[in-house]
Structure 1
Amino acid sequence: MVIFINDRPIRLIKKSKNSSYPPMEDYDVILDARLKPIKIADFKGHTCLLNVGPDQIEKIITELHADKPFDFHSLYILTDQKKELKKRICSLYQVIEAAGGVVLNPQNDVLWIHRLGKWDLPKGKLEKNESFKYAAVREVLEECNVVAELKSKVCTTYHTYSFKNERILKKTKWYVMESKQSGKLKPQLEENIERVEWISQAKMNKAVSDTYSSIRYVIQQFIVNQSQIPSKV
């Protein structure tokens, strides 16, 4: 589980022999909740937390939403209580479900939108009784005027924001999608989308460097997944 709070990734990772997470030497700070109280002021660079319980995670999440400057890039929470911590975190928010896509054309260019001064990928909230997969296809059509076919799952992200003094946790499922369409791209202006572009994967740096951390994570997962697909002989 990866949650983005104020554009910082918070990774909740189950401790087990089979888990994949950075070796301890890759962290700038390692803090053990059993040894001393966890203080956000102690977070630096890439911080790893050990032995954090549900009450402690609630306090950490609440403090991360306080209007204070923080000096860390990412947070890894290694735990054998992942299910309990995830449940406690979700209880602190109104959870909204959404879906989006990494859409490819026949040249393997990626479909990007530019909205509110940032590059983004097409996505949107689920409508009543709608599935994630159907919503992903619908949102691409509505936001970009592109008909796309869903191919595979990329990842799930969680990011937070405030709306009318309420904390929102948006759960978004991302899919690889393909489109054979060569028609005119049409941004959904009422959703503050300024323009829509196909950008080649070789030139995506301009978009990736000016987007949100959660979208960079989606693109990273997409690239990893693509590299694991066996080459056709």
Structure 2
Amino acid sequence: MYRIYFNQRCLAVFPSDDKALGEPDAVLYSPGKFPELADLPKLFDESPQITKLYIPSEKADVTFKQLCTNFSRVMAGGGVVTNSRGEFLMIYHHGVWDFPKGMQEPNEDIRESALREVEEECGVSDLEIREHICDTYHTYHRDGQFVLKTTRWYKMNYLGNGYHTRPQAEENIEQAIWVSRADLPKYMENTYPSIKHLMKRAAAKEAR
């Protein structure tokens, strides 16, 4: 399953038997009815009346690669960080709650990118990177190009004793705070759909 987010809207590839294909507000892709797969993201971007466009596929990896043909691709790394009290490290950025993440630098391992970005955006160190949670995908326009950003998310542990943070002001991060598990749903009300998807995947891995 792949979900590409266009702000609050979603273009997704699902197995042909996935229950999500039956969602009442989803438009299903069928060959002949829509343009070629490579042209579909541009069509979806220009069709705000469609909030969900789902593509059934027996070969999701192949279908996703076809969808991405006309994108310029960039890679980022991020972390879902918890401390010894079970609290989550969140940032407030552009009026929305989020988890720390940022762009991969040239010749940098993506795990190193994820750790570096958490440290820079939140002003914390003593981090231990754990397992990969999932990748999320979202789009934006830059310099006339249609960009697909892949963010690779990792579970991380904060091993330090203090809980002081220092939000990265030069990146317009207003707050970096520790959020209890009990309070997390409140913060999820003002976040991106991709972050809600990330936390569902994280919870599913935790339950195993």
**What is the TM-score when the length of structure 2 is the normalising length?**
0.89
> How many residues are paired up?
205
Give the 3 Å change call, closer, same or farther, for CA 131–55 of structure 1 in structure 2.
farther
User: Does 1:129 pair with 2:107?
Assistant: yes
Give distance in 2, aligned partners of 1:211 and 1:176. Answer: 19
What residue number does 2:187 align with?
Answer: 207
Unaligned stretches of 5+ in structure 2? none
What residue number does 1:178 align with?
Answer: 157
Give, as a single letter, the amino acid of the residue that structure 1 aligns with 2:141.
S
Pairwise CA distance, 1:109: 0.7
Indicate which of 123, 128, 140 corresponds to 1:149.
128
Give distance in 1, aligned partners of 2:131 and 2:71. Answer: 29
Matches within 5 A, 1:83-232: 83-147=61-125, 148-181=127-160, 182-228=162-208
Give distance in 1, aligned partners of 2:196 and 2:40. Answer: 24
The answer (yes or no) to whether the contact 2:39–2:67 under 8 Å persists in 1 is: no
What residue number does 1:36 align with?
Answer: none
What residue number does 1:22 align with?
Answer: 19
Give the 3 Å change call, closer, same or farther, for CA 62–173 of structure 1 in structure 2.
same
Deviations 1:33-83 (A, max 9, x none): xxxxxxxxxxxx1333355799522333111222x43143x3321113434
**What is the TM-score when the length of structure 1 is the normalising length?**
0.80
Give, as a single letter, the amino acid of the residue that structure 2 aligns with 1:27.
E
Give distance in 1, aligned partners of 2:10 and 2:48. Answer: 16
Runs of 4+ in 1 over 6 A off after TM superposition: none
Identity over the aligned pairs, expressed in percent? 30
The answer (yes or no) to whether the contact 1:104–1:177 under 8 Å persists in 2 is: yes
What residue number does 2:11 align with?
Answer: 10
Deviations 1:89-111 (A, max 9, x none): 22211100001011000011111
The answer (yes or no) to whether the contact 1:51–1:79 under 8 Å persists in 2 is: no
